[in-house]
A and B are shown apart, each in its own frame.
Chain A
Amino acid sequence: MSKLIDKKTLEYLAGLSRIKLGENEEKQILKDLQKILDYFNLLKEADVSKIEPLAGGTIETNVLREDEKNERKEKERGKLIDSFSDKQDDFLKIPPVF
């Protein structure tokens, strides 16, 4: 079985996922993922040529509502802002991007 995920791919995926992995963690995850992906090969034999994908639960229609101001959410917003690690006025204060 060819390796689908090597160390370089894993580092790329970890970067996309915004997760820093330690050296040992990388080794362990590589080993686990290989096993899991090998298991996924089972799906290759399933014939889905005429099957439409199923995206989710039991209903697949849009649910629309009026675009109205929600007072309750204003209150919750305040509490969420309080839970920021650092802030200036109502804004989340973050370290420099560059």
Chain B
Amino acid sequence: MEQLTIKKFHQGLTEKKFKVEEIVTDYYRKIEEKDVQIGAYLSLNKTDAISQAKKVDKDLADGQKLNILAGAPLAIKDNISIEGEPATAASKILKNYRAVYDATVIKKLKNLEAVFLGKTNLDEFAMGSSTEKSGFKIAHNPADLERVPGGSSGGSAAATAADLCLAALGSDTGGSIRQPASFCGVVGLKPTYGAVSRFGLIAMASSLDQIGPIAKTVEDAEILFDIIKGKDSSDATSVKIPVKKQSVDFQPGTIGIPKEYFEAGGLSKEVGRAMDEVIKNLKDLKFKIKEISLSHTKYAVACYYIIMPAEASTNLARYDGLRYASNLKSETGKLKLLDLYLKQRGEGFGPEVKRRIILGTFVLSSGYYDAYYLKAQKVRRLIKEDFEKAFGGVDAILTPVSPTTAFKIGEKTTDPLSMYLSDIFTIPVNLAGLPAISIPVKPVKNLPIGFQLIGKPFCEKEILAIGKKYEQK
């Protein structure tokens, strides 16, 4: 059977071609069959999913009109809270924790009667680009099981690509939605900073994190984005999106090609060729292509790997090993408090998380603050201004998502810096707080490749419109 999208699922449901329960049961059958190898899910929520499915089936039988998301089986990254469900962020330190409330995005999806199949795998606390750094299990790329699905939302991207869900939610701090979407051959949207509430997202770097959809089509990504976006009183950084920016009549405009991204060392031949093909297709669609310069791009990775660990070291200070269901009763009598903290955090966090907390503590420490953290904040402004200048002359910016296709499992685990550098094309977008979408092109040697469209702040609709046009071609 052809893979279902949110749109097709809704049509099929309203035309009574199938019941929600059948589709949900079928997804669980596929998960049981395939996910042993892929490792996309960390936990499943069969009981609630089936009962929610039955409820929607009954509503439909009773003649109620269904909204677009009713009964839609979705997968949720395990750093997003669903009340009563595990929310481990793939960390052993949260192994026994169950979320005590719904994230705002979850509340919005629940209001529309979506079904949650389960929680998906990620790099621990969303720190990584391969989902190899999960505290529980490695995730694999459905296109080639020896390769990584990307990360940190690798589980959500792999589940969507392998059709183990209709669509998914992920989070993106430096590329964690777009890069796995590109590696797995699905669509991923990182909204403008502030477009979607982060309430209920386990925080990594608060000035960079955003929740967004991973889907099989641009249209599905847009459906989910329209539902989850909006101002939320529980997230002071969320904003009301200006109405005039909410819908766009499609008109081909000018797309900027930043020369620094294409001159960067490490851009593989396959990805380079795929980008040429995308440019050709966009020209066919009557877009004007214009070379632009984002001259501070080369500083982005260094800037990001100072700011992000600084914020993460602060955010992760709350995990003391005593709260969040840490099952410690037997230990509490034996150790002094400080020793208990040291032990719990030393054992509960994985190597990448520890490295980033310590790096963050260093760049914030007295004597180094100005040279690293303050400097990085200033460079961050330069990077943002690069984009502002560029958007004076173009409507959107086209870049690759990642310099290469999905790499082999184990290929980059021994050298953290090489892993960090693979995020060069996605990181600047987070530093500047912009929206960007990753859209798949035709796979090369069976390995998916994506291109990235970066938009002006709160102009998701524009990049989605270009994406839809591209998709229809």
Q: Is B358 an interface residue (CB 8 A)?
A: yes
**Cβ contact within 8 Å between B416 and A43:** no
- Is B296's CB within 8 Å of the partner chain A? yes
A16 CB contacts on chain B under 8 angstroms: 361, 365
Those of B317-361 within 8 Å (CB) of chain A: 317, 320-329, 331-338, 340-343, 345-347, 349, 351, 354-355, 357-359, 361
Other-chain contact of A5, B208, B301, B317, B362 (Cβ < 8 Å) = B362
Give chain A interface residues in 15-36, CB to chain B under 8 Å: 15-22, 25, 28-29, 32-33, 35-36
Residue ranges of A at the interface with B (Cβ–Cβ < 8 Å): 5, 9-10, 13-22, 25, 28-29, 32-33, 35-36, 39-40, 42-43, 46, 48, 51-59, 63, 65, 72, 76, 79-80, 83-86, 92-98
Q: Are A28 and B336 in contact (CB under 8 A)?
A: no
User: In the complex, what distance in Å separates the CA atom of A52 from the CA atom of B355?
Assistant: 29
CB distance from B258 to the nearest CB of A (A): 18
Question: C-beta contact mask, B214-246 vs A, less than 8 Å → 1, else 0?
Answer: 000000000000000000010011010000000
Most chain B CB within a 10 A radius of its CB, from A21, A43, A96: A43
Query: Is residue B299 within 8 Å, beta carbon to beta carbon, of the partner chain?
Result: yes
**Candidates A42, A48, A92; contact of B302 at CB < 8 Å:** A42
User: How far, in angstroms, from A81 to B236 measured CA to CA in the complex?
Assistant: 25
Closest chain A residue to B236, Cβ basis: A63
Q: Which residues of A contact B100 (CB under 8 A)?
A: 76, 79-80, 83
A18 CB to nearest chain B CB (Å): 4
B382 lies within 8 A of A48 (CB) = yes
Contact between chains at A33 and B192 (CB < 8 Å): no
Distance in angstroms from A30 CB to nearest chain B CB is 10
Nearest chain-A residue to B431 (Cβ)?
Answer: A54
Q: Is there an interface contact between B342 and A18, defined as CB atoms closer than 8 Å?
A: yes
Q: What separation, in Å, do the CA atoms of A42 and B301 have in the docked complex?
A: 10
Q: By the criterion CB–CB under 8 Å, are A32 and B355 in contact?
A: yes
User: Could you tell me the distance between the alpha carbons of A40 and B376 in the complex, rounded to whole angstroms?
Assistant: 10
Within 8 A of A (CB), among B419-465: 420, 433, 457
Q: Is the CB of A97 within 8 A of B342?
A: no
Give bound CA distance, A51 to B415, whole Å.
Answer: 33
For residue B233, which residues in chain A have a CB less than 8 angstroms away from its CB? 65
The one of A25, A51, A55, A97 that contacts B336, using a Cβ cutoff of 8 Å: A97
Name B303's closest neighbour in chain A (CB-CB): A43
Inside 8 A of A36's CB, which chain B residues have their CB? 305, 359, 416-417, 420
19 chain-A/chain-B pairs, Cβ below 8 angstroms: A14-B358, A17-B345, A17-B354, A19-B345, A19-B346, A22-B346, A36-B359, A36-B416, A40-B305, A46-B299, A46-B379, A55-B207, A57-B433, A63-B236, A65-B233, A85-B325, A86-B332, A92-B322, A95-B337
Nearest CB of chain A from residue B361's CB, rounded to whole Å: 5
Q: How far is the CB of B62 from chain A (nearest CB, A)?
A: 31
Closest Cβ neighbor of A47 among chain B residues:
B382
Would A95 and B382 be within 8 Å (CB), given that A25-B354, A58-B433 are in contact? Answer: no
**Hey, which chain A residues are within 8 Å of B343, CB to CB?**
20
A28 and B414 CA atoms in complex are apart in Å by 10
In the complex the two chains form, what is the Cα distance from A86 to B324 in whole Å?
A: 11
The 5 closest A-B pairs by CB, nearest first: A20-B346, A56-B207, A53-B377, A57-B193, A85-B328
- Chain A residue numbers with a CB within 8 Å of B354 are 17, 19, 21, 25, 29
Most buried by A among B208, B313, B335, B357: B357
B98 adjacent to chain A (CB < 8 Å): yes
